[in-house]
């Protein structure tokens, strides 16, 4: 209790907080208590009124103003201590008025490259951030977005953040924001909503419980999750930011003048105006359609762009978009990005009776029989039949094991259909003649006879439409015998892979206790059957080597979160510390999983028919922070198999498009899909290879796609001279920021010693 009364205008400490004395009221009659009216000076309760009985407050005290005389009497501080104090204050300052000073790069748990600061520089120049980061795959768009987010939070321009991304990378976004920038995010999913309703009641709006969220695209377009978000944001939420990863998914896909919106497009179009700041990320922002591209940009910045109006102004696009390609940056700074080599592994001189070659010929013969049989069948029946044949062909090109398993299912269905046909044909008596007196059906009611007659007519009509030929059954039997004999044997691709492993991973392979080199390889396949086949074959090949049971891992869909993270960390750890050397992955790992730490070799055990899938696979190791100067992406070509020649041309075309336009596979993806929808006919090999080679200029429509991309997007792509100048400017700004902040090892040591 204090008996020294304060005066109006003085600063006091009461209840562990600082207040300004506004009035002191004496008691109306002694012995009363002195009342003091106060106004809070703390940031979180500035101006809040408080009235206390001064003598009754336990910790009440008047804070005396320090005078220069008192300061001088204590003498000067040690210069080192004063410097440490000054720099500690400066490091906590906010450069909210200077767009040329960066602080986020020094608050990130990663070495930031100078080119990654360009999006941050552009964002700080904008009154409201409306920015599209369209950098190539592997350049670190997530890091660039994190730098902007961290800087905006430090400058107190952002209070709420919502990140929307594909489901496969939700966990990665959360981990990177936390580990790289110290920012914690809540994953907004069904489990989170359920937990909040259990804690606070069903009527709670879960969006109001935190300020930073990550949600998947699939849940965002669900009205169950979008409606409460709109309620949280209201018509407009100041200090809010929306980050949309893989933003091209929110673009209308149609080429019509006013492209038809998908559900995700409608959701993002409705939500975007409610956020003060918007950040879109995509390596493929342009799908070749001008109207779709303009519609996406209109969502980002409706003041500059309008759907239906082609984006022809380089100045407008440059104001909202940042776009760099790996090959452009590689030309000015070789150390930062690896060179990619796409290497065909040519397999020739196979025996004519090799299962891979024989099955290919038999499958083509089977295809011809079915096409001939179904030439007069309904279109739906023809489409279904071609879908089955294409699937069988893709699986055969992957592995005989995958082909054998699918062929078994197909053959079982065909044989069942044949048995039903024979059964139907044996019981179609009512279609030949009506029941006679000696027939079993003579005593049946007339209505029953009519129903049976109608049933036989329906079944006979179905059977007559697609009668199964004996030739088809014979081919199925022949393919089954060959596939069953060969499915568990190492094929030519496995044998070539064994030679590579022996040469680059384990030179003494085959000898007991053979030691492994500190090198890793990633093998991709499209099918689970092929993955299991590879696990079995490679397991046999490396048997008896050192720690054979720990050398092979697999990455596939349906893995638990803990198992997924364990495999990822094991493969990314130093090979001297973890024994894993070979990772076999299905396409579940083609997106959102970075595996470049200690791996620069990748094999496509089968070539995906979708060009973007191959690029996504390659992007797992061809990205920033790759330690080696060159990454090697291998694929197999059986020169004696006609289908492989088509896929070889597809790989080369994808490589060409990637080099010219970055990761813009939609340019050729649509045309290639049309070309391969019906599978690969051996009689059409020449025609198919020529069509794929010119798929970006095959007709007027696709030519328009390519020219639209170059005219509307590639115009802002900086070339060598301008990239060098941009990088120099960014490096200078980074140095100035470091100098202004006083970031020096000596200052850190002094501050720590002072503590």
Provide the Cα torsion 113, 118, 120, 121; round to 10°: 130
Give the residue-averaged pLDDT of 424-441. 47
- Lowest model confidence (mean pLDDT) among 151-155, 233-237, 426-430: 426-430
Coil, strand or helix at 688:
helix
Confidence band for 240, pLDDT divided at 50, 70 and 90: very high
Q: Are 11 and 40 in contact (CB under 8 A)?
A: no
Residue 701 has pLDDT above 50, yes or no: no
**Separation CA 147–CA 160 (nearest Å):** 16
The pLDDT of residue 433 is 47
Residues 414-432: pLDDT tens digits?
A: 777 766 655 544 455 544 4
Q: What φ, ψ does residue 166 adopt, rounded to 5°?
A: -60, 150
Give the residue-averaged pLDDT of 31-46. 86
Residue 549 has pLDDT above 70, yes or no: yes
C-alpha separations of 13 from 24, 70, 581 in Å: 15, 21, 64
Neighbour-count burial for 168-196, b at 16+ CB within 10 Å, e otherwise: bbbebbbebbeebbebebbebbeebbeeb
**Separation CA 38–CA 579 (nearest Å):** 68
The pLDDT of residue 631 is 93
Confidence band for 693, pLDDT divided at 50, 70 and 90: confident
Strands (DSSP E) contained in 282-380 are 321-322, 339-347
The pLDDT of residue 224 is 92
Give the residue-averaged pLDDT of 607-620. 85
Categorise residue 625: left if φ over 0, alpha if ψ from -120 to 50, beta otherwise: left
- Lowest model confidence (mean pLDDT) among 228-232, 451-455, 491-495, 744-748: 451-455
The pLDDT of residue 629 is 86
Residue 607 has pLDDT above 90, yes or no: yes
User: For the whole model, what pTM was predicted?
Assistant: 0.72
Give the residue-averaged pLDDT of 656-670. 62
Residues 289-338: pLDDT tens digits?
A: 778 888 899 999 999 988 878 887 788 888 899 988 877 787 776 556 78
**Separation CA 695–CA 653 (nearest Å):** 8
Confidence band for 340, pLDDT divided at 50, 70 and 90: confident
The pLDDT of residue 442 is 42
The pLDDT of residue 267 is 93
Closest-CA residue to 185 (of 214, 143, 152): 214
Give the residue-averaged pLDDT of 129-140. 88
The pLDDT of residue 420 is 64
Read off the tokens for 337: 């990005």
Query: Is the model more confident about 304 or about 286?
Result: 304
Read off the tokens for 579: 């024994």
% of residues, the chain, pLDDT over 70: 82
The pLDDT of residue 632 is 95
Residues 6+ apart with CB under 8 A from 257: 291, 308
Query: Is the model more confident about 81 or about 250?
Result: 250
% of residues, the chain, pLDDT over 90: 40
The pLDDT of residue 462 is 45
The pLDDT of residue 206 is 94
- Lowest model confidence (mean pLDDT) among 44-53, 263-272, 610-619: 610-619
Q: What is the DSSP string of 432-476?
A: HS---TTSGGGGS-HHHHHHHHHHHHHHHHHHHHSPPPHHHHHHH
Q: Are 615 and 623 in contact (CB under 8 A)?
A: no
Read off the tokens for 2: 């204090």
Give the residue-averaged pLDDT of 626-648. 92
Residue 461 has pLDDT above 80, yes or no: no
Query: Is the model more confident about 582 or about 313?
Result: 582
The pLDDT of residue 510 is 86
- Lowest model confidence (mean pLDDT) among 84-93, 422-431, 568-577, 709-718: 422-431
Coil, strand or helix at 365:
helix
Confidence band for 700, pLDDT divided at 50, 70 and 90: very low
Average pLDDT, the chain: 83
- Lowest model confidence (mean pLDDT) among 58-72, 423-437, 734-748: 423-437
């Amino acid at each position: 209790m204090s008996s020294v009364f304060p005066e109006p205008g003085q600063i006091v400490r009461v209840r562990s907080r600082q207040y300004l004395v506004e009035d002191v009221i004496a008691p109306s009659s002694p012995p009363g208590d002195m009342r003091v009216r106060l106004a809070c000076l703390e940031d979180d309760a500035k101006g809040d009124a408080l009235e206390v009985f001064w003598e009754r407050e336990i910790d009440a005290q008047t804070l005396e103003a320090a005078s220069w005389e008192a300061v001088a009497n204590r003498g000067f501080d040690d210069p080192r201590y004063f410097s440490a104090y000054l720099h500690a204050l400066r490091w906590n300052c906010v450069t909210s008025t200077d767009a040329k000073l960066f602080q986020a790069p020094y608050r990130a748990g990663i070495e930031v490259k100078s080119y990654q600061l360009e999006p941050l520089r552009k964002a700080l120049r904008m009154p409201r951030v409306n920015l599209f980061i369209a950098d190539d795959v592997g350049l670190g768009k997530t890091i660039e977005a994190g730098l902007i987010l961290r800087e905006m939070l430090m400058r107190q321009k952002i209070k709420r953040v919502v990140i929307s991304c594909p489901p496969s990378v939700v966990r990665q976004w959360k981990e990177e924001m936390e580990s790289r920038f110290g920012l914690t995010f809540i994953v907004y999913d069904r489990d989170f909503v359920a937990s909040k309703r259990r804690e606070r009641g069903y009527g709670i709006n879960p969006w109001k419980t935190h300020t930073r969220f990550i949600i998947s695209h699939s849940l965002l377009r669900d009205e169950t999750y979008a409606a409460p978000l709109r309620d949280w944001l209201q018509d407009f939420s100041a200090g809010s930011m929306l980050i949309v990863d893989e933003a091209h998914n929110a673009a209308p896909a149609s080429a019509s003048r006013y492209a038809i919106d998908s559900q995700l497009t409608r959701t993002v179009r409705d939500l975007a105006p409610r956020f003060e700041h918007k950040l879109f990320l995509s390596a493929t922002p342009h799908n070749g359609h001008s109207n779709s591209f303009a519609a996406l940009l209109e969502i980002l910045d409706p003041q500059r762009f309008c759907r239906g109006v082609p984006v022809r102004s380089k100045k407008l696009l440059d104001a909202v978009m940042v776009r760099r390609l790996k090959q452009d940056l590689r030309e000015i700074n070789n150390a930062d990005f690896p060179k990619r080599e796409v290497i065909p592994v040519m397999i020739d001189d196979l025996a004519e009776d090799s299962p891979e070659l024989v099955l290919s010929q038999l499958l083509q013969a089977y295809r011809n029989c079915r096409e001939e049989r179904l030439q007069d069948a309904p279109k739906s029946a023809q489409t279904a039949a071609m879908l089955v044949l294409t699937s069988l062909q893709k699986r055969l090109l992957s592995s005989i094991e995958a082909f054998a398993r699918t062929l078994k299912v197909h053959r079982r269905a065909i044989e069942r259909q044949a048995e039903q046909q024979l059964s139907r044909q044996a019981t179609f008596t009512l279609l030949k003649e009506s029941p006679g007196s000696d027939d079993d059906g003579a005593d049946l009611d007339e209505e029953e006879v009519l129903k049976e007659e109608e049933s036989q007519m329906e079944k006979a009509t179905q059977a007559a439409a697609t009668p199964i030929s004996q030739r088809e059954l014979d081919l199925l039997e022949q393919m089954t015998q060959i596939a069953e004999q060969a499915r568990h044997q190492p094929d030519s691709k496995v044998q070539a892979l064994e030679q590579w492993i022996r040469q680059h991973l384990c030179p003494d392979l085959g000898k007991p206790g053979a030691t492994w080199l500190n090198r890793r390889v990633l093998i991709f396949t499209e099918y689970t059957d092929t993955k299991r086949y590879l696990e079995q074959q490679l397991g046999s090949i490396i048997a008896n080597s050192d720690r054979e049971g720990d050398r092979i891992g697999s990455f596939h869909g349906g893995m638990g979160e803990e198992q997924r993270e364990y495999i990822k960390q094991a493969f990314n750890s130093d090979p001297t510390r973890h024994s894993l050397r070979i990772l076999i992955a299905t396409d579940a790992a083609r997106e959102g999983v970075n595996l470049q730490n200690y791996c620069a070799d990748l094999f496509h055990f089968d070539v995906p028919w979708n060009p973007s899938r191959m690029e996504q696979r390659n992007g797992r190791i061809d990205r920033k922070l790759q330690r080696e100067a060159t990454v090697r992406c291998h694929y197999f070509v059986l020169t004696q198999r006609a289908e492989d020649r088509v896929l070889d041309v597809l790989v080369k075309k994808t490589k060409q498009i990637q080099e010219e336009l970055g990761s813009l596979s939609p340019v050729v993806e649509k045309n290639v899909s049309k070309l391969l929808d019906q599978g690969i006919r051996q009689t059409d090999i020449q025609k198919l290879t020529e069509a794929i080679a010119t798929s970006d200029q095959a007709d007027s429509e696709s030519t328009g796609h390519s020219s639209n991309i170059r005219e509307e997007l590639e115009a802002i792509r900086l070339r060598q001279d301008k990239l060098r100048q941009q990088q120099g400017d960014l490096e200078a700004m980074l140095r100035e920021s470091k100098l202004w902040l006083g970031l020096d090892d000596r200052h850190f040591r002094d501050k720590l010693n002072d503590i």
